[in-house]
């Protein structure tokens, strides 16, 4: 299709695997080949990763230099609030004379916790078993949901209370108290020009979007819109699309009819579907281009089992399934890895295999990777994030941070931590020699001082090796010098970490010189410390108390609030490796593989929503009638729809076969009989024998 | 296909007669209650299946609730087998077997938000909760010292120095025990700390023990909340909260579980009974149990009275299982004699009424599918002569020698044998003696030995990794872990000994583990250099230890998983390693300062049996006594099992008191005045407060003696009914026999009565 022939307003819908994105990319290619500038194209996606195919296509086909803009709505909001801050600050209740401070999830949590903790201490949350960081996270989540749905956050409490109804408990009081906390937090943020995610969205949509200066700027920038996966977007994004509707030269909206996987994060497929009426052209793609007849048949059987509409099952779906019962969880993992090894031996490329679980706790990820690696099978796992304190490199840096700041009031790090740190940072020092060195030079009970290598008896020095000793001395003298400097002239902790990394650890002879992964973690730690410091002391006024910033930072790390983000070096789908991921992450990758392994099919987690006592994903949706009770029937219906979406979504992304891992007892020893297991048993009962062969 | 197995008439009446409603089954020992209940479950599953109700997300299930994980596994396998072999149905569809706590977990897990939990809530392990209460109770002791002082004997209360010493040890332990009892009971009553605080308000200085208990409870709950978790006792309480809060949820679960079959109902607590009553809606509820085997009342909130009350309800169909083919007629007579003597001739009226339900075991009739063993191979021996004093050591020797003689003579190897003691400690000592006599035995004590063995292996690894310069622990690691593991090379004992000694003597472990070029310690040791096999094995060991040492920077769960992969091959051991990994990981969340030495200490406690840890080995295998092998167990642990020959030890008035003035009770601590049982008193104070009743000091102590004596009579009954053919009963004068007076144990009154019965017979 040429640019001229392209319809200008298209609503493209269909289930996964029918070629919607491929078609939209063709449209983009046509636009570019017809001479449209890449800079004029806005690709609006729920996650930036989903824009990659468009970026690649633009790179290959653009005639005019430039880049398409792949962006999320919050990205647009933040970028433009920075740019146009003086225009909106005052009407939104902020101080236009000072820069806005954008809070990350972590720093927002830090501030919210300041308001949560005293309320916990007063006993208001005694009927809720949640840690302070979790309470803070849920209150922030409520504010974010209100902003995404486009209602004032004060409405959250009324909605939650109505949904709870007259069930007996102190929950209503808890909801009301939560609102008081949120109000106080919000007032504090206004006073200090702090903008969390919810505030960014609100200020953007209510104040900046209608502003004529911004409108002129934005209209001059973009003429074409491609919005993919609109079913995974929140109503405020749909409002944004509507707001600009008459402006676009071309606008393509792409909608996955079985999607809505991010409902917990505010996605609203119903609101997305309403955009259909804006478009002149409406294409519906239905024929799957990816699944084998057996998998297609299995998908139909699942639809029928879960009470959905489907064409009749014609091919026996049994051939698309393989499974066996196991008693123990690790036995199931062994079985999965055995089957993967069989596939790889039969020349299946590892990247055509995905191992999917409802959640991917570290122990599971580690066990799978360990087993796969010991068979020589490459694996790449997606982990959304994990606590910084669990990263060995981060722990080593924090140990050094504490050693350099004895005046911060923490007890000195235990000798085990010091030995670990030395093993990591001194190249060539093994754990036994590190322990030997620590046992001699480290005075744990005397404030954590380190003594000189030279002071060690020569025969023991020889045992440790002079090379390691020299490196230790470099580190020790650096620490001593910097520590003395810091005692006189305190500095922010990120300055210290940056110097430590730059002047010592990244140098030849030190562990981070060659260990790129450790270097990445170090960079993240420095960045996280910098952001934390900037949020606490955004302006150059007064004399900041760096010791207290350092103390609070370390406390947050110890509480597990600060996370190390996982940033893949390259696209996971391009790596020749088995992909291990939580099922929802896989679904949001829009990726199709030949073989899927579903870990622990009996687990309840496959169909359970993330149930959190202080928030509610459905009740806080725009379309949910405010004031309506949320019944047991609603709950079951929502869970069934979710299981349906999940199973159909996964099968639509599988070409050849699904392997079901089942274990009678989960990793804690509890017996499992989740609904997904029953769905498969029903299918097997109908179409084939009950148990597959291990 | 039904009916290929022969049922006794009373079993048949239950399996084929029950179609709905409430039913109570009093089952005497050996009457086939698991067998009957499994067949009844299969029958009901078949009914549901034939109506098409067991498929898909809306399926119906028969819910079977029992007491232990082992029993869950027994039931599940048995029902699966009946469904598949006898009825041609799918083995795992249409029913669900759960422990009561497992069921409560299911209920809470399905709607955690209803009870203020997030979906990934943690059940905090018993080890952690015990530790929390210990810390809290010890911390509060100073503030509450006046309360404790009030209950001390005059002599101790007046002696400041003694008091200070006691605060550190005995009083601390008392405070911990009181705190634990109080928290458990408050949860059993579904009382939250704020409610108790409210009740206390009008009573200025009354109920001092409750005030202490409440302080522990408040801190404890806050501590759980801080960790975002709940304990095991919370599970049932929260499950009931959820069911009461949302009637639609309750209705849905009632639809899902149209039939509830409850096993071991005599061990139910009020709370557990409430949960099942709610779930069943008083419709189709079958409760099976034997009030005469209720032996878990002292340390729990269980009470057989609940079952007795149920059985007395007018709308409950009474279907007793009274026939037992387990034991010889002589042993049945002895068990029945214990019931008859207690209910008719016991000197204490309360025990006559409360200890037993007067029901007697009937032997199986002729042509029974499971007949009693013949009387010509039956023997009962009670080692008791008036005036004879038997020391504990002598009793142990006597039993060990007797067991040895029996097993080594004639057809002894064809019999299953058990020695049952009232307490763990006595059983351990016997196990040591059997070991010394090289008698094949296995323990069935608090945690099973396979669990402890796996924990021991992990302990040895962590113990070394926490202090890698220690070559003694390195050598132990080699000997206890590596040599026993799947990757060791074949060496004979002599060679392994050489390697072990060499490692013990290694002065510079870094030269073994990470040798520099040309400086490998292995080259220095001549004995190793001469034997390439030893060297190969040590090199393989070295590579493994290096992997582990390098893994010590990983979070503890990943480290344990790494070790587990290398050390274990048995699926149950690997599963245990996985579970330990998850549990230790949880510990780090609440104890960020924990490092390898602390984790090693935790594992050591599990391995030394000081901490209860539910492993997986018993889940998989259940427990089948083996011929020619002696089982050493407590009488409690023996419940539900049977052996050809059984020894019951320690049947004295210490373990089996009769509420006589000369009896001693463990719960009455020596340093308290008036022989008070403060654990009973704190609960009595809570009851008085809760029910607005008067509290009179000492009454609860007296009642606790009676309850304890009643339970111990039932324990003796359980012990006797474990024997199929041969039964030996012994007693001893106790540890303090040389101190004279009431410190010297006497034979239990019941023992004397049973001896009399034998002589009369």
| Predicted pLDDT at A187 | 96
ipTM exceeding 0.85, yes/no: no
Chain A residue numbers touching B565 (CB-CB < 8 A): 370-371, 374
Task: Say how far residue B341 (Cα) sits from the centre of its chain.
Answer: 30
pLDDT of residue A522: 87
Instruction: Average the pLDDT over B546-568 and give the result.
Output: 86
Express each pLDDT in A272-288 by its tens digit: 999 999 998 999 998 77
B610 vs A311, higher pLDDT: A311
- Radius of gyration of chain A measured on its C-alpha atoms: 28
With CB atoms and an 8 Å threshold, state whether A682 touches B121. Answer: no
Cα torsion angle, B140, B145, B148, B153, sign:
positive
pLDDT given at position A295 = 93
CA A25 – CA A136 distance, rounded (Å): 41
The tokens for A583 are 């099922």
Q: Please give the backbone phi and psi of residue A322, each rounded to the nearest 5 degrees, phi first.
A: -140, 135
**Domain range annotation of chain B:** 9-112+235-321, 125-226, 331-440+628-760, 449-605
Radius of gyration of chain B (CA): 28
| Domain B331-440+628-760: which CATH number of 3.40.50.2300, 3.40.50.720, 3.90.1150.10, 3.40.50.300 | 3.40.50.300
How close, in Å, is residue A429 to chain B by CA atoms?
10
Q: Do B510 and A436 contact (CB within 8 A), yes or no?
A: yes
**Which CATH number is associated with domain A293-384+570-687?**
3.40.50.300
Three-class secondary structure of residue A598 per DSSP: strand
- The pLDDT of B201-224, averaged and rounded, is 93
Asked if residue A691 has pLDDT above 50, the reply is no
| Nearest-CA distance A261 → chain B (Å) | 18
Half-sphere exposure of B35 (CA within 13 A, CB side): 17
pTM: 0.80
**Average pLDDT taken over every residue of chain B:** 88
How close A380 comes to chain B (CA, Å)? 17
B589 vs A168: CB contact, 8 Å cut-off?
A: no
Q: What are B530-548's pLDDT values in tens digits?
A: 899 999 999 999 988 998 9
Are residues B34 and B78 in contact, defined by beta-carbon separation less than 8 angstroms? yes
Q: What percent of chain A has pLDDT over 90?
A: 56
Confidence class of residue B181 from pLDDT cuts 50, 70 and 90?
very high
Note whether A390 contacts B: Cβ–Cβ < 8 A. Answer: yes
Share of chain B above pLDDT 70, in %: 95
**Among chain B residues, CA nearest to A168:** B245
pLDDT at residue B366, rounded to an integer: 84
Burial class (CB in 10 A: 0-12, 13-18, 19+), A667: buried
Q: Length of chain B, please? A: 761
**What mean pLDDT do residues B95-107 have?**
90
pLDDT in tens, B20-35: 999 999 999 999 999 9
| The domains spanning B9-112+235-321 and B331-440+628-760 adopt the same CATH topology | yes
Helix, strand, coil percent values for chain B (each to nearest 5): 55, 10, 35
Nearest to A128 among B116, B252, B554 (CB): B116
A134–B228 CB contact, under 8 Å: yes
Of B57, B516, B554, which has the smallest distance from its Cβ to A678's Cβ? B57
What confidence tier does B624 reach under pLDDT thresholds 50, 70, 90? confident
Tokens for B553, please give them: 């920077």
Question: B123-141: per-residue pLDDT in tens?
Answer: 777 777 888 899 999 999 9
C-alpha span between A235 and B678 (Å, rounded): 63
List residues bridging with B122 in a β-sheet: B229
Partners of residue B225 in chain A, C-beta under 8 Å: 120, 125-126, 128-131
Show me where the domains of chain A are located.
9-77+204-284, 101-192, 293-384+570-687, 389-565
Q: Which of B452, B463, B427, B442 is nearest to B614 (CA)?
A: B452
Q: What distance in Å separates the CA atoms of residue B228 and residue B121, rounded to the nearest whole number?
A: 6
Predicted local distance difference test score (pLDDT) of residue B450: 65
Q: Which residue in chain B has the smallest CA separation from A641?
A: B57
Are A259 and A232 contacting, i.e. CB atoms less than 8 angstroms apart? yes
Phi-psi region of A35 (alpha: psi -120 to 50; beta: other; left: phi over 0): left
Q: Among B55, B113, B571, whose Cβ lies nearest the Cβ of A612?
A: B113
Residues B614-624, mean pLDDT to the nearest whole number: 52
Q: Which of B105, B560, B575 to mutate to test the interface with A (most CBs of A within 10 A)?
A: B575
pLDDT of residue A566: 52
Task: Give the bridge partners for B318, in sequence order.
Answer: B24
Strand residue runs (E) in B478-578: none
Does residue B558 register a pLDDT over 90?
Answer: no
Which tokens sit at B552?
A: 């010590």
Helix (H, G, I), strand (E, B) or coil at A52: helix
Report the Cα–Cα distance between both ends of chain A, in Å, rounded. 50
What distance in Å separates residue B537's CA from the closest CA in chain A? 20
Which residues are paired to A226 by β-bridges?
A43, A252
Q: Is the CATH code 3.40.50.300 the one for domain A9-77+204-284?
A: yes
Per-residue pLDDT at A260:
86
Q: Within 10 Å of residue B556's Cβ, how many Cβ atoms?
A: 22
Q: Do B118 and A610 touch (CB under 8 A)?
A: yes
- Torsion, Cα A199 A200 A205 A208, to 10 degrees, reads 120
Q: Residue A106's pLDDT is what? A: 85
Lowest mean pLDDT among A171-175, B3-7, B33-37, B343-347: B3-7
More confident residue, A236 or B611: A236
**How far is C-alpha A600 from the chain's CA centre?**
22
Nearest-neighbour CA in chain B from A537: distance (Å) = 28
A 10 A CB-CB count for A229 gives 24
Token digits of residue A305 = 């089992």
Structure tokens at A668: 């804690």
Taking contacts as CB-CB distances below 8 angstroms, the residues of chain A near B123 are 668
Answer with the residue of higher pLDDT: A474 or A260.
A474
| CB–CB contact A643 B57 (8 Å) | yes
- Note the Cα B658 to chain centre separation in Å: 25
Q: What is the CATH number of domain B9-112+235-321?
A: 3.40.50.300
pLDDT at A689 over 70: no
A9 touches chain B (CB under 8 A): no
Q: Which residues of A touch B572 (CB under 8 A)?
A: 328
Report how far residue A684's alpha carbon sits from residue B80's, in angstroms, rounded to the nearest whole number. Answer: 18
State residue A411's pLDDT score.
85
By Cβ distance, the residue of A134, A465, A631 closest to B118 is: A134
Q: How far apart are CA A153 and CA A150, in angstroms?
A: 9
The residue behind tokens 């001395």 is A473
**Residue A482's Cα: distance from chain center in Å?**
37
Kindly determine whether residue A420 and residue B225, on different chains, have CB atoms separated by under 8 Å.
no
Chain B positions touching A675 (Cβ under 8 A) are 57
- Quote the mean pLDDT of chain A: 88
Nearest CB to B552 within list A431, A465, A643: A431
DSSP-assigned letters across all residues of A295-328: HHHHHHHHHHHTT---PPP-S-GGGGEEEEEESS
Decide if pLDDT at A199 tops 90: yes
Q: What per-residue confidence (pLDDT) applies to A112?
A: 95
On the question of a common fold for A9-77+204-284 and A293-384+570-687, the answer reads yes
Task: Please report residues of B whose CB lies closer than 8 A to that of A171.
Answer: 116
pLDDT at B613: 52
Nearest residue in A to B550, CA atom? A431
State the Cα–Cα distance between residues A445 and A456, nearest whole angstrom: 19
Task: Using CA coordinates, name the residue in chain B closest to A412.
Answer: B593
Q: pLDDT tier at A19 (50, 70, 90 boundaries)?
A: confident
In total, chain A counts a number of residues equal to: 694
The residue in chain A having the minimum alpha-carbon distance to the alpha carbon of residue B107 is: A604
Proportion of chain B above pLDDT 90, given as a percent: 57
Determine the distance in angstroms separating the CA of A251 from the nearest CA of chain B, rounded to an integer. 40
Inter-chain touch B221–A430, beta carbons under 8 Å: no
Segment of A180-184, A322-326, B615-619 carrying the highest mean pLDDT: A180-184
Mutate to test the interface with A, among B555, B568, B584, B614 (most CBs of A within 10 A): B555
Q: What is the pLDDT of residue A1?
A: 38
pLDDT of residue A261: 86
Element at A443 (helix H, strand E) = strand A442-443
* Contact between A131 and B227 using a beta-carbon 8 Å cutoff: yes
Express each pLDDT in B243-253 by its tens digit: 999 999 999 99
- CA-based nearest distance A687→chain B, Å: 14
Which pLDDT value is given to residue B449?
56
pLDDT reported for residue A136: 94
For residue B120, give how far its alpha carbon lies from the nearest alpha carbon of chain A (Å): 8
Residues of A in contact with B124 (CB under 8 A): none
Q: Is A654 helix (H, G, I), strand (E, B) or coil?
A: strand
- As a three-state string, the secondary structure of B563-601 is HHHHHCCCHHHHHHHHHHHHHHHHHHHHCCCCCHHHHHH
Is A328 within 8 Å of B572 when comparing Cβ atoms?
yes
Quick one: pLDDT at residue A26?
A: 93
Q: Which of A331-335, A565-569, B36-40, B739-743 tops mean pLDDT?
A: B36-40
């Amino acid at each position: 299709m040429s640019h001229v022939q392209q319809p200008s307003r298209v609503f493209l819908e269909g289930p996964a695997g029918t070629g919607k994105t491929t078609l939209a990319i063709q449209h983009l290619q046509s636009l570019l080949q017809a001479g449209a500038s890449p800079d004029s194209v806005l690709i609006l996606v729920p996650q930036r990763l989903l824009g990659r195919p468009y970026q690649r296509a633009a790179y290959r086909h653009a005639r005019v230099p430039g880049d398409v803009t792949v962006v999320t709505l919050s990205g647009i909001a933040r970028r433009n609030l920075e740019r146009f801050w003086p225009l909106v600050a005052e009407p939104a209740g902020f101080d236009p004379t000072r820069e806005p401070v954008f809070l990350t999830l972590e720093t927002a949590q830090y501030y919210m916790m300041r308001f949560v903790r005293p309320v916990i201490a007063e006993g208001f949350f005694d009927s809720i078993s949640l840690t302070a960081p979790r309470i803070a996270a849920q209150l922030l989540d409520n504010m974010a949901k209100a902003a995404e749905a486009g209602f004032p956050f004060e409405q959250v409490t009324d909605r939650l209370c109505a949904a709870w109804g007259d069930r007996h408990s102190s929950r209503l009081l808890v909801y009301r108290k939560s609102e008081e906390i949120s109000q106080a937090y919000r007032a504090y943020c206004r006073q200090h020009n702090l903008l969390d995610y919810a505030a960014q969205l609100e200020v953007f949509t209510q104040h900046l979007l209608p502003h004529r200066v911004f409108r002129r700027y934005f209209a001059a920038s973009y003429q074409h819109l491609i919005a993919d996966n609109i079913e995974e977007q929140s109503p405020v994004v749909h409002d944004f699309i509507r707001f600009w509707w008459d402006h676009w030269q071309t606008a393509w909206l792409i909608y996955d009819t079985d999607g809505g996987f991010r409902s917990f994060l505010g996605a609203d497929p119903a609101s997305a579907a309403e955009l259909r009426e804006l478009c002149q052209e409406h294409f519906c793609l239905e024929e799957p281009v990816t699944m084998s007849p057996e998998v297609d048949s299995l998908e139909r059987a699942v639809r029928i089992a879960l009470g959905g509409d489907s064409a009749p099952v014609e091919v026996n779906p049994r051939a698309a399934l393989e499974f066996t019962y196991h008693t123990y969880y690790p036995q199931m993992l062994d079985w999965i890895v055995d089957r993967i090894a069989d596939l790889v031996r039969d020349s299946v490329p590892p990247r055509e295999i995905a191992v999917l679980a409802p959640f991917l706790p570290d122990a599971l990820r580690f066990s799978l990777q360990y087993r796969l690696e010991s068979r020589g099978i490459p694996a790449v796992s997606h982990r959304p994030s994990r606590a910084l304190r669990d990263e060995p490199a981060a722990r080593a840096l924090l140990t050094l941070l504490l050693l350099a700041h004895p005046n911060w009031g923490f007890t000195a790090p235990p000798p085990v931590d010091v030995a670990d740190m030395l093993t990591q940072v001194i190249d060539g020092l093994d754990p036994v020699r590190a322990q030997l060195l620590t046992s001699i030079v480290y005075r744990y009970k005397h404030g954590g001082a380190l003594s000189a290598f030279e002071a060690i008896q020569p025969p023991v020095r020889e045992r440790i090796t002079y090379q390691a000793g020299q490196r230790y001395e470099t580190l020790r003298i650096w620490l001593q010098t910097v520590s003395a400097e810091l005692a006189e002239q305190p500095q922010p902790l990120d300055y210290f970490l940056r110097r430590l990394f730059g002047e010592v650890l990244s140098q030849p002879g030190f562990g981070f010189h060659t260990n790129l992964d450790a270097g990445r973690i170090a960079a993240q730690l420095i960045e996280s410390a910098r952001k934390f410091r900037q949020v606490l002391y955004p302006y150059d006024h007064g004399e900041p108390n760096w010791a207290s910033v350092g103390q609070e930072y370390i406390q947050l790390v110890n509480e597990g609030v600060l996370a190390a983000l996982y940033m893949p070096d390259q696209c996971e789908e391009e790596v020749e490796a088995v992909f291990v991921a939580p099922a929802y992450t896989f679904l949001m990758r829009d990726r199709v593989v030949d073989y899927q392994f579903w870990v622990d099919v009996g687990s309840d987690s496959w169909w359970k929503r993330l149930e959190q006592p202080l928030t509610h994903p459905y009740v806080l949706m725009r379309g949910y009638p405010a004031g309506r009770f949320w019944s047991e029937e609603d709950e079951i219906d929502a869970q069934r729809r979710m299981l349906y979406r999940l199973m159909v979504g996964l099968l639509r992304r599988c070409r050849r076969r699904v392997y079901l891992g089942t274990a009678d007892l989960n990793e804690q020893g509890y017996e499992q009989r989740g609904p997904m297991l029953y769905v498969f048993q029903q299918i097997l009962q109908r179409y084939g024998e009950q148990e597959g062969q291990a | 296909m039904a009916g290929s197995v022969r049922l006794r008439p009373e079993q048949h009446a239950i399996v084929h007669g029950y179609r709905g409603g409430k039913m109570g089954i009093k089952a005497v020992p050996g009457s086939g209650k698991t067998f009957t209940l499994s067949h009844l479950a299969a029958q009901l599953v078949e009914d549901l299946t034939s109506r098409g109700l067991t498929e898909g997300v809306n399926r119906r299930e028969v819910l079977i609730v029992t007491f232990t994980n082992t029993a869950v596994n027994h039931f599940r396998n048995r029902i699966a087998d009946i469904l598949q072999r006898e009825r041609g149905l799918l083995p795992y569809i249409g029913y669900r077997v759960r422990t009561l706590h497992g069921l409560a977990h299911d209920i809470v897990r399905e709607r955690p938000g209803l009870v203020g939990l997030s979906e990934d809530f943690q059940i905090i392990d018993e080890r952690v909760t015990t530790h929390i209460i210990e810390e809290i109770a010890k911390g509060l002791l100073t503030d509450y010292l006046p309360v404790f002082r009030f209950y001390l004997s005059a002599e101790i209360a007046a002696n400041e120095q003694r008091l200070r010493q006691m605060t550190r040890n005995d009083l601390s332990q008392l405070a911990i025990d009181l705190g634990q009892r109080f928290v458990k009971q408050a949860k059993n009553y579904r009382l939250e700390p704020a409610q108790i605080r409210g009740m206390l308000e009008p009573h200025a200085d009354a109920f001092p023990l409750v005030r202490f208990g409440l302080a522990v409870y408040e801190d404890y709950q806050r501590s759980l909340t801080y960790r975002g978790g709940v304990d095991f006792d919370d599970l049932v309480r929260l499950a009931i909260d959820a069911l009461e809060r949302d009637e639609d949820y309750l209705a849905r679960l009632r639809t899902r579980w149209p039939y509830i079959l409850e096993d071991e109902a005599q061990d139910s607590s009020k709370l557990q009974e409430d949960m099942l009553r709610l779930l069943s809606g008083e419709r189709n509820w079958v409760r099976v149990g034997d009030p005469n085997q209720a032996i878990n009342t002292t340390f729990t909130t269980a009470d057989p009275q609940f079952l007795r009350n149920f059985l007395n309800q007018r709308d409950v169909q009474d279907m007793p299982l009274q026939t037992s083919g387990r034991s010889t007629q002589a042993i049945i007579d002895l068990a029945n004699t214990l019931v008859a003597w207690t209910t008719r001739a016991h000197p204490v009226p309360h025990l006559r009424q409360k200890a037993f339900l007067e029901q007697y075991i009937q032997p199986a009739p002729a042509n029974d599918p499971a007949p009693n063993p013949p009387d010509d191979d039956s023997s009962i021996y009670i080692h008791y002569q008036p005036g004879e004093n038997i020391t504990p050591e002598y009793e142990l020797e006597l039993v060990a020698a007797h067991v040895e003689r029996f097993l080594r003579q004639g057809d002894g190897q064809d019999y299953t044998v058990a020695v049952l003691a009232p307490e763990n400690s006595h059983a351990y000592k016997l196990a040591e003696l059997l070991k010394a006599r090289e008698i094949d035995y296995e323990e069935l004590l608090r945690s099973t030995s396979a669990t402890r063995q796996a924990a021991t292996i992990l302990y040895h690894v962590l113990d070394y990794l926490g202090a890698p310069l220690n070559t003694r622990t390195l050598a132990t690691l080699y000997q206890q872990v590596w040599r026993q593991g799947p990757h060791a090379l074949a060496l004979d004992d002599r060679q392994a000994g050489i390697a072990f000694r060499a490692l013990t003597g290694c002065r510079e472990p870094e030269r073994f583990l990470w040798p520099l070029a040309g400086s490998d310690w292995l080259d220095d040791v001549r004995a190793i250099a001469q034997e390439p096999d030893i060297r190969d094995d040590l090199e393989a060991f070295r590579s493994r230890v290096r992997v582990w040492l390098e893994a010590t920077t990983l979070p503890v769960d990943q480290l344990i998983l790494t070790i587990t992969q290398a050390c274990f091959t048995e699926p149950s051991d690997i599963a245990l390693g996985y579970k330990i990994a998850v549990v230790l990981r949880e510990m780090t969340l609440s104890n960020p300062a924990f490092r390898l030495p602390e984790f090693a200490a935790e594992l050591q406690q599990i391995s030394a049996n000081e901490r209860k840890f539910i492993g997986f080995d018993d889940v998989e295998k259940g427990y089948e006594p083996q011929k020619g092998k002696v089982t050493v167990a407590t009488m409690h642990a023996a419940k539900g099992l049977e052996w050809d020959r059984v020894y019951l030890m320690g049947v004295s008035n210490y373990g089996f008191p009769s509420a006589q003035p000369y009896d001693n009770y463990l719960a009455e601590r020596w340093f308290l005045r008036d022989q008070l049982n403060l654990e009973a008193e704190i609960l009595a104070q809570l009851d008085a407060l809760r029910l607005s009743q008067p509290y009179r000091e000492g009454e609860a102590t007296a009642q606790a003696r009676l309850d304890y004596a009643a339970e111990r009579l039932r324990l003796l009954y359980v012990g006797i009914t474990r024997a199929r053919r041969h039964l030996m009963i012994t007693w001893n004068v106790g540890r303090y026999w040389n101190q004279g007076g009431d410190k010297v144990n006497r034979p239990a009154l019941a023992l004397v009565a049973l001896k009399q019965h034998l002589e009369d017979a």
